[in-house]
Amino acid sequence: AILTSEEQEDFEAIRGHDITVKSYKVESRITSRFAHTTVRSSVVNSGSKAQSIGFNVQIPKRAFISNFTMNVNGITFVGSVKEKTVARNLYAQARARGKAAGIVRANSQDMETFKTEVHVPPGSNIEFELHYQEMMHRKLGFYEHSLYLQPGRLVPQFQVDVYIFEPKGISMVQTPNTLGEQFTELIQVTSSNGKAHIVFKPNIQQQRKCDTCTDSAIDGVLTVKYDVNRDSNAGELQVSDGHFVHFFAPSELSPLPKNIVFVIDVSGSMWGVKMKQTVEAMQAILDDLTVDDQFSIIDFNHNVRCWSEELVPGSTIQIADAKKYIENIKPSGGTNINEALMRAVQMLVKASNQNQIDPRSVSMIILVSDGDPTVGEIKLSTIQKNVKRVMREEFSLFSVGIGFDVDYDFLERIAMDNRGTAQRIYANHDAAEQLRSFYSQVSAPLLRRIQVQFPENSVSDVTQNVFDKYFRGSELVVAGKVLPSDSDTLTSFTTASAASLDVTVETETDTTELDTELAKQQHSFNGFARQMWAYITIKQLISDRSLASTAAKKRRITQRIMALAVEHQFVTPLTALLVESDDAKERLLADSPKDSKQGCCSGPPPMAPVNVVYQHPPWVQITTPPPSEVEKGGEEWLLPRKITLVDND
Amino acid sequence: PHFIIHLPRSDMDVCFNIDSKPGHILNLVSDSGAGVVVNGQLISSKVSTKKLNTYFGTISIYYQPDGVSVTVSTSSIALSDGRSNHSFTWGATAEITQNGLRVSIVKNSHVKITINNNIQVMVLLHRVWKKHPVNVDFLGIYIPNDNQYSPLVHGLIGQFSTEPEVSVYDVHEGLDPLKKEATMEVKGNKLLVTRGWQKDYRHDKKRGSNIYCWFIHNSGKGFIDGHYTDYIVPDLNSFLQTP
């Protein structure tokens, strides 16, 4: 990269260090909620001796890495995604040694870190380039794109660009100052019609922690929030590159009445911050209930107690009484999750049998827990079966896992198994806010039994198109392939039940228009529809796989995931990125692990942590990053430790 | 707004205008027997030229037994049942059913409201060019003659569900050579009527198709029961107060 004279000065100014990051550039292209992000960095070993040069990028857990390339002193390494076993064999043939790059799950809320490190002689030039793709999920009425920026030092050419293109137009775009006060003014937003451009380009001086400091203050998240124009309750159908994506996010509907049983873990481990934050959140959550809603509270440790044996209307008197009850809870004792959930389901069943439940209402259980069961049934797979057996089709279960010890896999599995979702929150200062935010996402169900259909023989390979509920502020997305047709119009029919009415909404679109529009766009991601379809399909297959009841089923799903991930070049738990030099002599392997916490039941055992090695040119010595916790376990960690093993687990 | 009343037995169309004020709510159908009321609220064109033109800006259909009302405006179609409110735009074709009520929206064109499969109202959307100096978006309403009301039905349009005896005679040249005049006998009144035409926009929203009719002057006086001001009601869901 050619430095301008000013940058040259900056460059000289910071050249004192032995490693110089010449440029650090991040570019996100978001088209119709699908983001392709590229992180590029060029580094010089400006020291007098060989040394290790690292390139760490934090990416959202929900993203798929789609490529990583490296250029070390003119030798280019190009990545390609392959089946894990294939990639490993190719690597093994190269008989490479050591570890150089990998994706190590950083134990943080929802991201992982891509780490790579090369050891190069003095004067070496290295250029790293990482690509990853992800879908923006609409939560609480907006999409949020987070870029984790951590250049680690002052950079003469530091720049972040986020380009958003939304065919229906952007209704709002914001950049909350999550990166720190000193940068708020430096983030520029320009937006018109369907496009927005956010740029952050601080000079060296603006990057400093203080006027005379030499280290960078840039270490955090640049956040972009936006929403799109939408026609109240109509759907939005987009066709591009032979694929369609259907977005549905109605807003002008009255919420359905709710029947909620809050199941709160009050075992000894909840003592302190966790309980305090839970009580605080519950106060706000209870205030949100209306007289159209019905609710009760079950608090459990080794015993199971009910605030009210039956569901009661959300009147002010009942809510006040419930708040007082919650405030007086003293956590202690063991954890009997099974009994508590059985009790909650019984309460809903009883209310339903006594016709106390409005047929158009929504019945849900919200479980808040911080740990594993220690009393009563403690086998997680048995609890999962018990809950599944007693839960009725019209009930759903939402789980919130508080803290680090919780077996989040288990909570997620029982939620997904019962038409709900799970969320992990950490018992820190804003756990109450996280709990409230989670509840806000499920507190306004607007529709039940949503189905998105298409005329016969017009589409194929459709992702999930039947949804149990739609909550205000979220968005239901269906994707698929468009079959060849004489007509230039694709039509969808969305049926659903709202409070007091049933609705069918017809949405149609021209199948050629968007590609014409995208061809004019300079910064759109033209392959968005194809990649978004694959992304959604793979995500759904991965969750189907974790719920698959037999090894044969799991094997079939595994094959499908691998085929898709290789075709669309996604690094998933079942594929790996093989990065090879031009002459294919040098190889680097990167794959992505699963969560480190032991999974509960039939499902893929924890993926071996990073096993990333690469063949190195003679002049490159490999250094291994300091062993992390996980790696201390040595070889045995490489072997899966659990049941229903299928190839490629 | 213009009114065209089709009289199948006489095989005749009769027209009249109601020149009322913006904001006024005119009762079009009031059937306390079936529990159905249809009202229309007036809006005016942008610039108050010397002659004030008023149009229907909002049409409301209220079905009392279910407590459900459908309020159609030039920007949205809203359903309300006292507890829940749902609003749809003209931007999407949609079919909505709520108990005995069915609402069929055709994107940016019209909406049909059907009550218990025996009373139907169709509202047509007229979208004008946003920057037009005078015209504004407005609505048309079309009510079939075979709606099954109760005998108590009334209103500016509802009163004609029982077709009155009409005879027209002494047709002669009028002041305007294109518009003949004649004498109409109806409801015991003798009226001077003029041959004219008005537009039915159901088949061609832009130009409309001409409906030739006998035009009643003075806001339909003598053809409608009482005076048109008798049909101004306080709310969109108000029934007509029976005299």
- Mean pLDDT of chain A, nearest integer: 84
d(CA A150, CA A218): 6
Strands B76-80 vs B85-89: parallel, antiparallel or unpaired: antiparallel
Count of beta carbons in the 10 Å neighbourhood of residue A638: 12
d(CA B214, CA B200): 15
**Residue in chain B nearest A290 by alpha carbon:** B83
d(CA A546, CA A549): 9
pLDDT at residue A140 above 90? yes
Q: What angle (nearest 5°) sits at the alpha carbon of residue A474, between those of residues A451 and A428? A: 140
What is the Rg, in whole angstroms, of the alpha carbon atoms belonging to chain A? 26
**What is the SS3 string spanning chain B?**
CEEEEEECCCCEEEEEECCCCCCCEEEEEEECCCCEEEEEEEEECCCCCCCCCEEEEEEEEEEHHHCEEEEEECCEEEEECCCCEEEEECCCEEEEEECCEEEEEECCCEEEEEECCCEEEEEEEECCCCCCCCCCCEEEEECCCCCCCCCCCECCCHHHHCCCCEEEEEEECCCCCCCCEEEEEECCEEEEEEEEEEEECCCCCCCCEEEEEEEEHHHHECCECCCHHHHEECCCCCCCCCC
d(CA B222, CA B202): 28
Check CB contact under 8 Å for B87 and A499.
no
pLDDT at residue A346 above 60? yes
Residue pair A498/A254 in contact by the 8 Å Cβ criterion: yes
Read off the pLDDT of each residue in A171-183 and give the average, rounded to a whole number: 90
The predicted pLDDT at position B65 comes to 94
Check CB contact under 8 Å for B89 and A498.
no
Backbone φ, ψ for residue A101 (5° rounding): -150, 155
The predicted pLDDT at position A565 comes to 93
d(CA A609, CA A629): 10
d(CA A311, CA A309): 7
Q: Which structure tokens are listed for A318? A: 């009942």
**Residue in chain B nearest A491 by alpha carbon:** B93
What is the Rg, in whole angstroms, of the alpha carbon atoms belonging to chain B? 18
Nearest to A232 among B87, B95, B107 (CB): B87
How does pLDDT run across A386-444, given as a tens digit for each residue?
999 999 999 999 999 988 778 888 999 999 999 999 998 877 768 888 888 899 999 99
Distance of residue A448 Cα from the nearest chain B Cα, in angstroms:
14
* CB burial of residue A550 (10 Å; 0-12, 13-18, 19+): exposed
pLDDT at residue A106 above 60? no
d(CA A394, CA A396): 7
Check CB contact under 8 Å for A505 and B94.
yes
Q: Name every chain A residue with its beta carbon within 8 A of the beta carbon of B79.
A: 501
Chain B interface, Cβ < 8 Å to A = 76, 78-79, 81, 83-89, 91-99, 107
d(CA A641, CA A222): 38
Q: Give strand pairing partners of A35.
A: A30, A134
Q: Name every chain B residue with its beta carbon within 8 A of the beta carbon of A496.
A: none
Q: How confident is the model at residue A610 (pLDDT cuts 50, 70, 90)?
A: very low
The predicted pLDDT at position A549 comes to 84
Highest-confidence range of A76-90, A416-430, A507-521, by mean pLDDT? A507-521
Residue of B88, B89, B108 to mutate for A, most A C-beta atoms under 10 A: B88
> For chain B, how many residues are written?
243
Q: Name every chain A residue with its beta carbon within 8 A of the beta carbon of B93.
A: 505-506, 508
Q: Name every chain B residue with its beta carbon within 8 A of the beta carbon of A246.
A: none
Nearest to A234 among B84, B86, B89 (CB): B89
Residue pair A210/A447 in contact by the 8 Å Cβ criterion: no
Which of the residue ranges A94-98, A224-228, B69-73 would you say has the lowest mean pLDDT? A94-98
Q: Name every chain A residue with its beta carbon within 8 A of the beta carbon of B107.
A: 506
Q: Quick check: helix, strand or coil at residue A434?
A: helix
Q: Name every chain B residue with its beta carbon within 8 A of the beta carbon of A489.
A: none
Distance of residue A255 Cα from the nearest chain B Cα, in angstroms:
8
The predicted pLDDT at position A17 comes to 60
Check CB contact under 8 Å for B79 and A506.
no
Read off the pLDDT of each residue in A54-69 and give the average, rounded to a whole number: 88
User: Among A285, A147, A157, which residue's Cα sits nearest to residue A219?
Assistant: A147
The predicted pLDDT at position A55 comes to 84
How does pLDDT run across A283-320, given as a tens digit for each residue?
999 999 999 999 999 999 999 999 999 999 999 999 99
The predicted pLDDT at position B82 comes to 84
Residue pair A262/A299 in contact by the 8 Å Cβ criterion: no
Check CB contact under 8 Å for B94 and A234.
yes
- Mean pLDDT of chain B, nearest integer: 93
Q: What angle (nearest 5°) sits at the alpha carbon of residue A302, between those of residues A298 and A304? A: 25
The predicted pLDDT at position A186 comes to 93
Check CB contact under 8 Å for B98 and A502.
yes
Read off the pLDDT of each residue in A107-114 and give the average, rounded to a whole number: 66
The predicted pLDDT at position B181 comes to 95
Q: How confident is the model at residue A87 (pLDDT cuts 50, 70, 90)?
A: confident
The predicted pLDDT at position B53 comes to 85
pLDDT at residue A569 above 50? yes
Q: How confident is the model at residue A530 (pLDDT cuts 50, 70, 90)?
A: very high
pLDDT at residue B52 above 50? yes
Read off the pLDDT of each residue in A570-593 and give the average, rounded to a whole number: 73
Distance of residue B96 Cα from the nearest chain A Cα, in angstroms:
4
Distance of residue A513 Cα from the nearest chain B Cα, in angstroms:
18
Nearest to A234 among B78, B91, B95 (CB): B91
d(CA A260, CA A257): 10
The predicted pLDDT at position A623 comes to 36
Residue pair A47/A122 in contact by the 8 Å Cβ criterion: yes
d(CA B94, CA A508): 12
Alpha helices in A231-314 (DSSP H): 273-288
Check CB contact under 8 Å for A500 and B84.
yes
Strands A312-313 vs A195-200: parallel, antiparallel or unpaired: unpaired
Strands A75-83 vs A64-72: parallel, antiparallel or unpaired: antiparallel
The predicted pLDDT at position A642 comes to 42
The predicted pLDDT at position A100 comes to 42
How does pLDDT run across A445-496, given as a tens digit for each residue?
999 999 999 999 999 999 999 999 999 999 999 999 999 999 999 999 999 9
d(CA A148, CA A163): 16
The predicted pLDDT at position A88 comes to 77
pLDDT at residue B240 above 90? yes
Chain A interface, Cβ < 8 Å to B = 231-235, 252-255, 292, 498-508
Check CB contact under 8 Å for B86 and A253.
yes
pLDDT at residue A377 above 70? yes
Read off the pLDDT of each residue in A590-613 and give the average, rounded to a whole number: 42
**Residue in chain A nearest B105 by alpha carbon:** A505
Q: Name every chain A residue with its beta carbon within 8 A of the beta carbon of B73.
A: none
The predicted pLDDT at position A205 comes to 93
**Residue in chain B nearest A255 by alpha carbon:** B84
Distance of residue A319 Cα from the nearest chain B Cα, in angstroms:
21
Distance of residue A447 Cα from the nearest chain B Cα, in angstroms:
11
Residue of B93, B104, B106 to mutate for A, most A C-beta atoms under 10 A: B93
Q: Name every chain A residue with its beta carbon within 8 A of the beta carbon of B92.
A: 231, 233-235, 505-507
Q: How confident is the model at residue B31 (pLDDT cuts 50, 70, 90)?
A: very high
Q: Quick check: helix, strand or coil at residue A281?
A: helix
DSSP string, A22-76: EEEEEEEEEETTEEEEEEEEEEEE-SSS-EEEEEEEEEETT-EEEEEEEEETTEE
